Amino acid sequence: MKDPITISITGAAGQIGYALLFRIASGAMFGVDQPVSLRLIEIEPGMKALAGVVMELDDCAFPLLHSIEATSDLNVGFTGANWALLVGSVPRGPGMERKDLLQVNGKIFTNQGQAIAANAANDIRTLVVGNPCNTNALIAMNNASGVPKERFFAMTRLDENRAKSQLAAKAGCHHSEVSNLCIWGNHSATQYPDFIHAKIKGQPVTNVISDGAWLEGEFISQVQQRGAAIIQARGASSAASAANGVVDTVRSLTTPTPKGDWTSVAVCSDGAYGIEKDLIASMPIRTEDGKSWDVVRDLEIDPFSQSKIDITVKELCEERAAVKDLIKVDS
């Protein structure tokens, strides 16, 4: 049996937490031969509910679940963490944009970044889910002194999955037949789901779906607005599909990317595709070894796509400017 790896999860008693922990403990995230130790972090008011979640985890008797620590102390919570999944934060309600949460959620990620730097394992990787996740990841990264920037990610995989599902429905195929789908930019209403490079059964989407007006219009806006549509319908933001996006993201970053494909995740830009350096922006990513990753750098960007990417990158710059006091860098 392998040694256990340690996963710290904030907001563990919340909606996403409840849909996520049991999948990690069952082996869906790291594989069925990898034991896991969970460090579950909540704020004080959430600790009673978290105690109930821990009871339920105990009651599953998961073979791979090595240990559970439930705490409201960040230093305890991130001790020895190999992965930090930063979910804890306030979700938006109807009529709000995700960036409206910056003032309430942004500061959470300063202390968390510092506690990660002080307590986590040397190979720590951090995935931010709490919204607005790109800019919250930027805040955590800039407060985690000494942790390499390439170890910070923000989640756009749920958007990728949504886009694949929409394309498959339109083309009348199975979503597993859609590949090479990149979400560019911000996990927000400006994100650009790139149908130009996407493929269905190995063919360009634009060869399979001839309705160009749909691709340029309804498809993009449905993906951009899917989170809001779920809030309208459910009265609460996506939780099970978001937890699934977390599982998919970590799995994709820890296993080799299938040949010729890529995955969407927001990473610290090194200037690729002209995206301003040090923003946390979603782009096409590959990993060969499940440890290091690189941007897929050779995609040709047509003027339509470029105009969409410019819009979402501009929004990321605006969000960064709004939190300049939290990131200690010029913006």
**Stretch binding ligand NAD (CB under 6 A), from 28-36, 88-96, 197-205, 288-296:** 88-96
To which residue do tokens 């995230």 refer?
A: 29
Comparing CB distances to ligand NAD, the nearer of 126 and 200 is: 126
Examine residue 284 and tell whether it contacts ligand NAD (CB under 6 A): no
Is 197 known to be catalytic?
no
Of 195, 217, 218, nearest in space to 208 by CA:
195
**Stretch binding ligand NAD (CB under 6 A), from 128-136, 139-147, 189-197, 267-275:** 128-136
CB of 227 to ligand LMR, least distance (A): 2
DSSP 153: E
Comparing CB distances to ligand LMR, the nearer of 51 and 90 is: 90
Q: How many residues are listed for the chain in this entry?
A: 331
Examine residue 239 and tell whether it contacts ligand NAD (CB under 6 A): yes
Report yes or no: 120 and 78 within 8 Å, Cβ to Cβ.
yes
Q: Which of 9, 13, 57, 231 binds ligand NAD (CB under 6 A)?
A: 13
Summarize as ranges the residues that interact with ligand LMR (CB under 6 A): 91-92, 98, 131, 158, 227-228, 230, 237-238, 242
Report yes or no: 25 and 60 within 8 Å, Cβ to Cβ.
yes
CB of 246 to ligand LMR, least distance (A): 12
Comparing CB distances to ligand LMR, the nearer of 121 and 230 is: 230
Comparing CB distances to ligand LMR, the nearer of 183 and 200 is: 183
Pair type for strands 182-184 and 178-179: unpaired
CB of 2 to ligand NAD, least distance (A): 28
Phi-psi label, residue 65: left if phi above 0, alpha if psi -120 to 50, beta otherwise: beta
To which residue do tokens 């909540």 refer?
A: 42
Report yes or no: 27 and 59 within 8 Å, Cβ to Cβ.
no
Examine residue 10 and tell whether it contacts ligand NAD (CB under 6 A): yes
The single-letter code of the amino acid at 22 is F
Q: What is 196-220 written as a DSSP string?
A: TT-EETTEEHHHH---HHHIIIIIH
Interacting residues with ligand NAD between 169 and 228 (CB under 6 A): 187
Q: What are phi and psi of 96, to 5 degrees?
A: -95, 155
Comparing CB distances to ligand NAD, the nearer of 89 and 254 is: 89
CB of 10 to ligand NAD, least distance (A): 4
Whole-angstrom Cα distance, residue 164 to residue 158? 10
Examine residue 115 and tell whether it contacts ligand NAD (CB under 6 A): no
Cα angle vertex 41, ends 27, 228, to 5°? Answer: 80
Footprint of ligand NAD on this chain (CB under 6 A)? 10-11, 13-17, 41-43, 46, 87-92, 108, 129-131, 133, 155, 158, 187, 237-239, 242, 245
